[in-house]
Structure 1
Amino acid sequence: MASIFTEIIKGEIPSYKIAEDDRYYAFLDIRPLAKGHTLVVPKQEVDYLFDVEDDLLGGAMIFAKRVAKALESVIDCKRVGVMVIGTEVPHAHIHLIPFQKEAQIDITRKPIEMSSEAMEALAAEVRAKVAL
C-alpha cells in the first residue's frame, strides 16, 4: 500500500507544493511547528532514511538545501532547522523548519494554526524563490 506521501506526490491527495523535480517533492507540513515547516521526500518510497540509496540520499540534501534557501528568503528566521524523525509516516522524509528560537523545532510542541489561504499564499511565495 502506498504511503500518504506517495499519494501526495501522485496528486491523489492535495498539498501545498513548494518544489518538485524528477526525484524529490517538497511541500508544507499541514501540522507546522513554525511558519514554513516543509517536508522534503524522495519520490521513491523507502521507509527509513538511512535505507535510501546513497546517491538519492545525497541528492535529497542538495534538494533540501535549495528549498531551505527559498524558505530563508521568504520567512524571517534565524535559521532553517533540519530534523529527521521518520516514524510518523513510513516514507523517508526530511523536516525543514524555519525558526527564531530552538524551542520552535521541538517535535512535541503543539502545531501552529494557519488557514488554508495563508498556507497556499506561503507555498506560492516560497515556490517562486526555489532555484532548481
Structure 2
Amino acid sequence: MECVFCRIVRGEAPADRVYEDGSVVAFLDVRPLFEGHVLVVPREHLPTLTDVPPELLGPYYAVVRRLAGAVESAMDARGSFVASNNRVSQSVPHFHTHVVPRRPRDGLRGFFWPRRRYRDAERAAEVAALVRAAVSADGAG
C-alpha cells in the first residue's frame, strides 16, 4: 500500500496544510489529540529518523521549532508537546513529528506509557556505556 504522507506531499490526498517548503510539508493531523495538532513530514519518503540525511536534520527541525511556536500562538496554548516515533507506535511508516498544543490540566499525563527508574546506579551506568559504545561505533562520538 502506498504511503499516505507521500500522497499528501504530492497533493494527491487531501490535507489541511499549514506550511510547506522545498523539503518539508506540515498539515493538521486528521485524528488530533487537540485542535491544532500538526504533523511535520519530510517531502522525501524516509521511514524513520535514522533514514533522514544529516543535511536535512537542521532545516527539518528548524521548521518543527517554528511550527511549535506558531501552534502555541494560534491555539492560545501555554506550550506544546513535540514528539516522533521510530517504528514502534509509528502508524505511518514515513518519518513525522507531532506538534501538539498543550495547556495545564488538558488531560495528557506526561508520556503515554509508564516510566520507571533504573534498577540502580550501576545499571544506569551499564546502559549509558552501551549507548556511548553504539554512538562511537556509528562514528558520531
TM range, smaller chain: 0.7 to 0.9
Given that 1:40 and 1:95 are in contact with CA atoms closer than 8 Å, whether structure 2 keeps it comes out as yes
The amino acid of 1:48's aligned partner reads: T
Q: Which residue of 2 aligns with 1:85?
A: 85
Given that 1:40 and 1:64 are in contact with CA atoms closer than 8 Å, whether structure 2 keeps it comes out as yes
The amino acid of 2:85's aligned partner reads: I
Q: Which residue of 2 aligns with 1:43?
A: 43
Q: Which residue of 1 aligns with 2:13?
A: 13
- Over residues 31-90 of structure 1, what are the superposed CA-to-partner deviations in whole Å (9 max), with x where a residue is unaligned? 000110000000011101122111212211101111122112211212111011242111
Identity %: 37
Tell me if 1:98 matches 2:104.
Answer: no
Residue correspondences, number:
108
- Where structure 2 has 5 or more consecutive residues not aligned to the other structure, the ranges are 114-141
Cα displacement (A) at 1:107: 5.5
Q: How does 1:1-132 map to 2 (within 5 A)?
A: 2-86=2-86, 87-101=90-104, 103-104=107-108
Q: TM (normalized to structure 1)?
A: 0.74
Q: C-alpha separation between the residues in 1 aligned to 2:99 and 2:6? A: 19
For the pair shown, which has the larger CA radius of gyration, 1 or 2?
2
Q: C-alpha separation between the residues in 1 aligned to 2:48 and 2:18? A: 23
Over the aligned positions, Cα root-mean-square deviation in angstroms equals 1.9
Q: TM (normalized to structure 2)?
A: 0.70
Structure with greater contact order relative to length (CA < 8 Å, sep ≥ 6): 1
Q: Which residue of 1 aligns with 2:134?
A: none
Q: Which residue of 2 aligns with 1:116?
A: none
- Where structure 1 has 5 or more consecutive residues not aligned to the other structure, the ranges are 109-132
